[in-house]
């Protein structure tokens, strides 16, 4: 990070059956292709596809139109907004539909830079997704100040560090709900309380947590929350931003008065229906326990085969139920994956795949390069089976 950025010193379903019907997701007895990259992207769930399909034929009208052609599209968008709000525990008019998590994050960060504000201050963390850190770097060029709060060896933020970082001109605190690489779940509720005590807006990027663990905005106490559809079995190209009622948000996209004047552009009824169905699936059919069973089976298998040659990255308990970031010291994660083309996984954030540089997240955690370079992120999902996990254990262990 550039020197201009200030820094503060340091002072989380039983049964083996997959949730997706096997008739729709057939799995061979001995899997030949194993997908363990659900944190990068998820397949579109059958229920989501079914919800979207009618909109291809009947939802072509503009949702803002008052005539018969716009009715089905308008109804679909409204229903989707209510389903998203139900998952997050908020009101439908607090949901802004976006093109994804990156747009939502950009809107939040860039919205604090206004003509009536003198050098606003933003507090964020060293392990945020680039969709937060890069907008922060951009607003620095417009006069904003950014303070990066560190994390401990588990990737966990100390709320007291956030408290110390807040200044009289702080306009925003942005701390992700759960990390995309190591899965560590942050104490967002406590951080939001601190921000509220200081009269500062609090935002959390919940792209990785929604659909895996409960994400309720009232319980978290946040003012703003970002959601990405393709992380919870909806299509790519759609997301949502929760904006607490009463919070003024400058549009990132200017134009017509769509989304309550907060995001211009004709809504896609098709994509909105997909995101709404995905949120309904996450709420009515939670899979947290089953994901944790699969993740722990994967970790136990690797430890049984490799012992201390497999090192866990991230918090041992306060971690997403589907995420296993494991290092193989003395090896390179990209080389391990290259030798196992049948296994889809990542060496860290998918945005950095192919780079040999140490993951910024692991670097922020203080993981030594000799350990961090051997990191592989394995993330299970609704379609993962025990047979796939066991096959992956044998293949990874044998390769290492």
Contact at 8 Å (CB) between 81 and 266? no
Quickly state the pLDDT bin for 30 (edges 50, 70, 90).
low
d(CA 146, CA 4): 8
Tell whether 174 and 290 lie within a shared domain: no
Q: What is the pLDDT of residue 285?
A: 96
What region, left, alpha or beta, does residue 217 occupy, with left being phi > 0 and alpha being psi -120 to 50 degrees?
alpha
d(CA 196, CA 192): 6
Cβ atoms within 10 A of the Cβ of 219, count?
Answer: 12
d(CA 319, CA 300): 16
**pLDDT tens digits, residue range 142-155?**
999 999 999 999 99
Tell whether 311 and 241 lie within a shared domain: no
Tell whether 258 and 129 lie within a shared domain: yes
Structural domain count of the chain? 2
Kindly state whether residue 278 falls inside one of the protein's structural domains. yes
In which domain, by residue range, is 347 found? 13-44+286-399
Could you give the C-alpha distances from 366 to 127, 156, 203, 370, 371, in angstroms and in order? 12, 12, 25, 12, 10
Report the CATH number that the domain containing residue 365 is assigned in CATH.
Answer: 3.90.1150.10
Kindly state whether residue 171 falls inside one of the protein's structural domains. yes
Give the pLDDT mean for 91-101: 97
Q: Is the pLDDT of residue 353 over 90?
A: no
Kindly state whether residue 2 falls inside one of the protein's structural domains. no
What is the Cβ-side half-sphere exposure of residue 382, based on CA atoms within 13 angstroms?
25
Tell whether 298 and 274 lie within a shared domain: no
Kindly state whether residue 332 falls inside one of the protein's structural domains. yes
Kindly state whether residue 5 falls inside one of the protein's structural domains. no
Tell whether 104 and 246 lie within a shared domain: yes
Helix (H, G, I), strand (E, B) or coil at 26: coil
Q: What is the pLDDT of residue 114?
A: 72
Q: What is the pLDDT of residue 10?
A: 39
Tell whether 136 and 212 lie within a shared domain: yes
Share of the chain above pLDDT 70, in %: 89
Q: Is the pLDDT of residue 180 over 50?
A: yes
d(CA 37, CA 385): 14
Tell whether 277 and 173 lie within a shared domain: yes
Contact at 8 Å (CB) between 210 and 185? no
Tell whether 59 and 181 lie within a shared domain: yes
Q: What is the pLDDT of residue 17?
A: 41
Give the pLDDT mean for 175-183: 98
Of 268, 284, 300, the domain-final residue: 284
Tell whether 183 and 134 lie within a shared domain: yes
Tell whether 77 and 220 lie within a shared domain: yes
Residue 48's nearest CA partner among 288, 344, 282 is: 282
pTM of this structure: 0.90
Give the pLDDT mean for 371-383: 97
Tell whether 106 and 232 lie within a shared domain: yes
Report the CATH number that the domain containing residue 140 is assigned in CATH.
Answer: 3.40.640.10
Give the pLDDT mean for 309-326: 97
Q: Is the pLDDT of residue 232 over 50?
A: yes
Of 257, 284, 311, the domain-final residue: 284
Contact at 8 Å (CB) between 6 and 145? yes
Give me the chain's average pLDDT, please: 91
d(CA 342, CA 348): 18
Kindly state whether residue 71 falls inside one of the protein's structural domains. yes
List active site positions: 351
Of 284, 312, 345, the domain-final residue: 284
Contact at 8 Å (CB) between 311 and 329? yes
d(CA 37, CA 53): 26
Tell whether 101 and 243 lie within a shared domain: yes
Kindly state whether residue 8 falls inside one of the protein's structural domains. no
Kindly state whether residue 1 falls inside one of the protein's structural domains. no
């Amino acid at each position: 990070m550039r020197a201009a950025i200030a820094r503060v010193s340091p002072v989380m379903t039983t049964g083996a059956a997959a949730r997706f019907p096997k008739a729709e997701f057939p799995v061979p007895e001995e899997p030949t292709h194993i997908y363990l990259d659900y944190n990068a992207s998820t397949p579109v769930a059958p229920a989501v596809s079914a919800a979207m399909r009618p909109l291809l034929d009947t939802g072509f009208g503009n949702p803002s139109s008052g005539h018969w052609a716009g009715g089905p599209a308008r109804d679909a968008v409204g229903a989707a907004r209510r389903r998203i709000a139900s998952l997050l525990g908020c009101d439908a008019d607090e949901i802004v539909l976006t093109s994804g998590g990156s747009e939502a994050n950009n809107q939040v960060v860039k919205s604090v830079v206004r003509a009536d504000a003198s050098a606003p201050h933003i507090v964020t963390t060293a392990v945020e997704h680039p969709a937060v850190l890069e907008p922060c770097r951009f607003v620095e060029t417009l006069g904003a100040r950014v303070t990066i709060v560190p994390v401990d060896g588990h990737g966990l933020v100390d709320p007291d560090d956030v408290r110390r970082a807040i200044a009289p001109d702080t306009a925003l605190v942005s701390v992700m709900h759960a990390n995309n690489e190591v899965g560590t779940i942050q104490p967002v509720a406590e951080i939001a309380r601190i921000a509220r005590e200081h009269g500062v807006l609090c935002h959390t990027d919940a792209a990785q947590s929604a659909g895996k663990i409960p994400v309720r905005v009232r319980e978290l106490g946040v003012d703003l929350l970002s959601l990405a559809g393709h992380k919870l079995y909806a299509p790519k190209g759609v997301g949502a931003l929760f904006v607490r009622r009463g919070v003024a948000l400058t549009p990132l996209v200017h134009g017509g008065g769509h989304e309550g004047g907060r995001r211009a552009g004709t809504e896609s009824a098709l994509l909105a229906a997909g995101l709404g169905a995905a949120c309904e699936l996450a709420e009515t059919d939670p899979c947290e326990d089953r994901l944790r069973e699969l993740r722990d089976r994967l970790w136990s298998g690797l430890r049984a085969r490799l012992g201390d040659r497999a090192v866990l990255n991230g918090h041992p308990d306060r971690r997403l139920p589907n995420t296993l970031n494991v290092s193989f010291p003395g090896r390179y994660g990209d080389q391990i994956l290259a030798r196992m083309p049948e296994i889809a996984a990542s060496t860290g954030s998918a945005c950095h795949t192919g780079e040999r540089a140490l993951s910024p997240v692991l670097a922020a955690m203080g993981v030594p390069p000799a350990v961090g370079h051997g990191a592989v992120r394995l993330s299970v999902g609704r379609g993962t089976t025990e047979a796939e996990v066991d096959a992956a254990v044998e293949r990874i262990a044998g390769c290492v």
